[in-house]
Chains A and B, each alone.
Chain A
């Protein structure tokens, strides 16, 4: 463990350095845009992985929290004229609070029941956004969202977030924070409790792990992070509509986690990267995209249920025996 932790630390440092240099390497605006979207999806995938990979529950309503974050922040800035830097935290708080309110009762359920309840919740949120036309403009979507207020240091410089490069660093910052939060959570007492719950929650409860408590914690944190991703999305794209936050989106994020490898840190990152960039590479066969995704999901589960990263780790013997399934 000691040796790997040193390797990990160096790896993390190199990755951050590389990430900082990205805007100097990728100069084409559209490519940078793809990288920005990848980061937003990384936040989503990594947070959903807390549920799928660590407490072992499948949520099919993750996009709802993404939507709550996006709409909260957008509406607050537009209707109340509050700065993005405040609305961002209100959006996170709103998603976290909703996560707690939904998770508290819903986590009494397990497996398929939990999945269907979260699916129903996600649908309700989408329907509410769709039908509250006075507030959200319903299916037409919400245009005219402002980018984050520029940061000015008098006499020195101004950071204007209309610029994709500036936004890149903003998203990068929050992605690193999110990854850090998840890392600290997972490699701690709490993380070990999560794994105990995933492997056998009745046994975990019997040896004194407060399963309910930890499940709610994971769900609430994941919801808050999805809210963060939503707020960033809203102020980056500057337009939001309910379609972005529907069941298909939830499934999309589930795919990222599963294909990359649930229960690992790198897995969801790789999954988000693949599923955001792959459609661009496969532009020529764009119509087949969803067909291929569906097939990939089935094949991944049948042939390598640990995902790409999990399978590689298994081959290298880095997975504890219990996780090789």
Chain B
């Protein structure tokens, strides 16, 4: 069950990353910081403004999305036409910036979001799990379904898929690429934020909490296939469960090293990922 919880988080974070890559060709190193911001906003809305946990989550989701949109407009848009290394470096800079800014504002002390579900344990089929953990899984599944509907059925979703295939072609038939990019980046960030606010109820919230999951999300995205949405989701759950198994049966010290090992193996032998399209 813990594997499923970790897997949900990885899947949500990886989903945003893979979208940004598939549609905008951006590898966003700052993704973990949006995840962290999601957790902090939820905490602030909960504690300072007294909004109930679920409501705070929705607000945090929106707030992170808006911040994402602003950042896209200010920093990624001006360098879109330059060499790809630049976007990588900008996202790296953003990551350092946001992480340390939050460290400055909120300090290094760990906090916990007061979730009403944290302490209640429910049992079924002989498994016991806290409600919070169950909530992580349920919300993830709901978000994934909503997201699937968004991509497949709405006009914006169709525009996004068209842009992913061929940005110039999409622009030619009248799709406003700038808007597609904004929505993609905003949605990707918001998903990471949602993952953060879910985790904030299980683990502690700190400014550096984004580092580990974003590295994991990279692994997931690559193992699942860059730009592949089903790959990101399947990869997320796969990594979550494998990790728990390795930690349980082998050794937890090398759990992370194993994850990176998988990454390197996949990169070397099947760079397009397990679900990716073969490079043309």
A99-122 near B? 1/0 per residue, CB < 8 Å: 000000110110111011101110
> Is there a chain B Cβ closer than 8 Å to A29's Cβ?
no
Q: Which residues of B contact A289 (CB under 8 A)?
A: 100
The contact of A298 among B21, B93, B267, by CB within 8 Å, is B93
A201-238 near B? 1/0 per residue, CB < 8 Å: 00000000000000000000000000000000000000
Interface centre among A112, A254, A291 (most CB of B within 10 A): A112
Number of interface residues of B (CB under 8 A): 41
Q: Which residues of A contact B78 (CB under 8 A)?
A: 302
Asked if A290 contacts B96 (CB within 8 A), the reply is yes
Closest to B86 in A: A301
The contact of B94 among A116, A258, A287, A294, by CB within 8 Å, is A294
> Is there a chain A Cβ closer than 8 Å to B89's Cβ?
yes
Asked if A302 contacts B267 (CB within 8 A), the reply is no
Known contacts: A131-B254, A298-B75. The answer to whether A115 contacts B27 by CB under 8 A is yes
The contact of B89 among A105, A109, A120, A297, by CB within 8 Å, is A297
> Is there a chain A Cβ closer than 8 Å to B41's Cβ?
no
> Is there a chain B Cβ closer than 8 Å to A278's Cβ?
no
Asked if A294 contacts B257 (CB within 8 A), the reply is no
Number of interface residues of A (CB under 8 A): 39
Asked if B264 contacts A112 (CB within 8 A), the reply is no
The contact of B100 among A127, A131, A291, A296, by CB within 8 Å, is A291
Asked if A117 contacts B267 (CB within 8 A), the reply is yes
Known contacts: A113-B271, A294-B95. The answer to whether A325 contacts B83 by CB under 8 A is yes
Asked if A56 contacts B260 (CB within 8 A), the reply is no
Asked if B79 contacts A302 (CB within 8 A), the reply is yes
Known contacts: A108-B268, A113-B267, A302-B75. The answer to whether A123 contacts B215 by CB under 8 A is yes
Residues on A lying within 8 angstroms of B by beta carbon are: 52, 56, 58, 105-106, 108-109, 111-113, 115-117, 119-121, 123-124, 127-128, 131, 251, 254, 258, 287-291, 293-298, 301-302, 305, 325
Q: How far is the CA of A213 from the CA of B226 in the complex (A)?
A: 27
> Is there a chain A Cβ closer than 8 Å to B60's Cβ?
no
Q: How far is the CA of A295 from the CA of B267 in the complex (A)?
A: 31
Shortest Cβ distance from residue B99 to the other chain A in the assembled complex, whole angstroms: 8
Q: How far is the CA of A131 from the CA of B256 in the complex (A)?
A: 11
Asked if B96 contacts A294 (CB within 8 A), the reply is yes
Number of A-B contacts (CB under 8 A): 119
Q: Which residues of B contact A108 (CB under 8 A)?
A: 268, 271
> Is there a chain A Cβ closer than 8 Å to B218's Cβ?
yes
Asked if B104 contacts A123 (CB within 8 A), the reply is no
Q: How far is the CA of A288 from the CA of B100 in the complex (A)?
A: 8
Q: Which residues of A contact B218 (CB under 8 A)?
A: 116, 119-120
Asked if B263 contacts A120 (CB within 8 A), the reply is yes
Known contacts: A105-B268, A108-B271, A117-B267. The answer to whether A305 contacts B100 by CB under 8 A is no
The A-contacting residues of B in range 39-90, CB under 8 angstroms, are 75, 78-79, 82-86, 88-90
Known contacts: A291-B100, A302-B78. The answer to whether A113 contacts B222 by CB under 8 A is yes
Q: Which residues of A contact B100 (CB under 8 A)?
A: 289-291, 294
Q: How far is the CA of A109 from the CA of B74 in the complex (A)?
A: 30
Asked if A123 contacts B260 (CB within 8 A), the reply is yes
Q: Which residues of B contact A293 (CB under 8 A)?
A: 93, 96-97
